[in-house]
Structure formats: structure tokens, C-alpha cells
Amino acid sequence: MTDDSTDWYSQDAATFGDRVAAAREAAELSQKELARRLGVRLSTVRGWEDDRSEPRANRLSMMAGLLNVSMMWLINGEGEGLSAPDEDPMPRDMRLLLADLRTLRADLVTKAEQVARMEKTLRQIVQETPDV
């Protein structure tokens, strides 16, 4: 693999969901077909590809085998996986912007999870506090 600054599927350039989608497409499987083969719902595969959730270890192992990539590549872009596309029609500045957008998306997911935890804590406090 190349260094992370030029690796199309590195942890800095792509999310877990990006790598799942790319490997699924390279294996010429639809989301529905992948879900069927893994024994999960279509919405589950969509959640993985949209970075809303991640599979458990047993599903991750099955998915890596079905998609002919390593589990580590799916998780962090390192190991046996897909090569970067031969031709990248996007100019360098657009690729950098896309990488920034992917990073921002991952940050937003993290922040949304943090907000959900805080809301849950607040609801618990309100329920435990009399006269509120």
C-alpha cells in the first residue's frame, strides 16, 4: 500500500462505510445481496455504508471473506484490500476537499452520538428530580 496521504482508502481519506461500499461494488454485489449473504437486514448494510453503525466481529469477518478483503482493511484501510482506482478524473483540490468532507462527516457522526448520550443523561436527571 502507499502512504496515507495518497491512499484512496486510508483512514484519513475514507470511512469504514466508504470501504464497505467500494469492496461491495468491486465484488459486484448489491446492498440487498450482501445483506442476504450475511443474514442481516438491508437497513443494516445501509447503516454500515452510511457510517451510522458498525458490524459485530462475526459479521465483519464474514463480510471481509465475502468481499475478498481483510478485516483490518475494512476497519482502517490497512492490509489486503482494494487498490486505488487507476484513473482519478478529479483534480487534486477536489480530492482534498472530498477527504475533508469525509472527515467532517465522521466528526459529525461522533458529535451526534455525543449529543444523544447527553440527551439521555439529561432525561434521566429530569426523571430523578422532583418538581421539574
Instruction: Give the pLDDT band of residue 91 (cuts 50, 70, 90).
Output: confident
Residue 97 has pLDDT above 50, yes or no: yes
- Domains of the chain, residue spans: 1-85, 90-132
Q: How far apart are CA 104 and CA 91, in angstroms?
A: 20
Burial (CB count <10 Å: 0-12, 13-18, 19+), residue 39: exposed
Mean pLDDT within 101-108: 79
Q: How far apart are CA 70 and CA 42, in angstroms?
A: 22
Q: What one-character-per-residue DSSP string does 67-102 give? A: HTS-HHHHHHS-SS-PPPPS---S-HHHHHHHHHHH
Instruction: Please tell me the least confidently modeled range out of 38-47, 70-79, 101-110.
Output: 101-110
Instruction: Give the pLDDT band of residue 121 (cuts 50, 70, 90).
Output: very high
Residue with cell 469504514: 16
> Residue 102 has what pLDDT?
75
> Residue 6 has what pLDDT?
47
> Residue 33 has what pLDDT?
92
In 3D space, the residue among 7, 130, 3, 9 whose CA is nearest the CA of residue 73 turns out to be: 9
Mean pLDDT within 32-46: 93
> Residue 109 has what pLDDT?
79
Q: Supply 80's cell numbers.
A: 489486503
CATH code of the domain made up of 1-85: 1.10.260.40
Q: Supply 45's cell numbers.
A: 448494510
